[in-house]
A = this chain, B = another copy of it.
Amino acid sequence: MSTSLELIASQRAFGGWHKRYRHRSDATGTEMTFAIYLPPQTAHGTKVPVLYWLSGLTCTDENFSTKAGAQRVAAEQGLALVMPDTSPRGDDVADDAAYDLGQGASFYVNATQAPWRSHYRMYDYVVEELPALIEAHFPVTAVRAISGHSMGGHGALMVALRNPGRYRSISAFSPIVNPSAVPWGQKAFNHYLGDDRTAWAAYDSCQLMESAGEMLPMLIDQGEQDSFLPEQLQPHILQEVAARRDWPLTLRMQPGYDHSYYFVASFIEDHLRFHAAYLA
């Protein structure tokens, strides 16, 4: 692995180190930014498993890093956290004025349509390139889990359903579980993948779960006061598929909680403990 990493920032947190890096990505053909939290256990060379976190619309690597409080639990459990950006970025990267398309809104697919296809290859980035980079440069094992929020919850479920051998466990907060059937997903998939809906199935967690082989343990939290719940999220659709297949899915509806990082922060400890049990 010859990719060089440029350290942007390094800050002590909860006895470990929160670091941001920039690097040239083969997958996207752009520079990409990610953050990594290395828990105190790595100080003496101990390799630790990694939880990948995919963020939602409009986010960068910094939203989860600064607002979720996950480093505290990662330090306690001896997990590394890896937080990629939500899309390629730059003046030469296609974009759209809307918050739900273009930069900050990749939906973690490999785009096949112009003008998106030249850089929007976040599926390859998240599944292949980033873990290879992380495992080459940092004191981590190849034992992985994945989680995310909203669009990133979609990303986490979809990526792990397609690559069960690469992850031990899956979780999500307020995920878009059935993007082919809801406005956010339909808009993005039309732009990135074209109007042939057979191409959409490879990125739709409800459809992927129907035919998935290995059934990884899955935890989903959803706020009942989330304004996006009725139209965009609808986790009960995934729950119905899981029930038919006897899939080990725990869906928790949380009364009073909304779509914000106050919600994520309130339950991130449960998610990290859930993953830690399978990563040990």
Interface residues of chain A, those whose CB is within 8 Å of chain B, are 11-15, 18, 66-67, 69, 71-72, 223, 225, 254, 256-258, 260-263, 265-266
Contacts and interface: CB of A to CB of B under 8 A. Distances in A.
B13 A265 contact: yes
Copies of this protein in the assembly total: 2
A69 B66 contact: no
Given A72-B265, A265-B72, A11 B260 contact: yes
A172 to B, nearest CB: 19
B13 A262 contact: yes
Nearest to A18: B262
Contacts of A258: 11-12
Nearest to A16: B266
Contacts of A223: 12
Contact of A266 (B14, B225, B257, B263): B14
Most buried by B among A15, A66, A261: A66
Given A66-B66, A66-B67, A262 B225 contact: no
Given A11-B263, A12-B254, 11 more contacts: A11-B257, A12-B225, A12-B256, A12-B266, A13-B263, A13-B266, A14-B265, A15-B266, A66-B261, A69-B265, A72-B266
Nearest to A72: B69
Contacts of A69: 69, 72, 265
A12 B69 CA distance: 16
A162 to B, nearest CB: 33
A278 B261 CA distance: 31
- List 5 A-B pairs, minimum CB-CB distance, nearest first: A69-B69, A12-B256, A13-B262, A12-B257, A11-B262
Contacts of A12: 223, 225, 254, 256-258, 262-263, 266
Contacts of A67: 66-67
A256 B10 CA distance: 10
A178 to B, nearest CB: 25
A89 to B, nearest CB: 23
A226 to B, nearest CB: 11
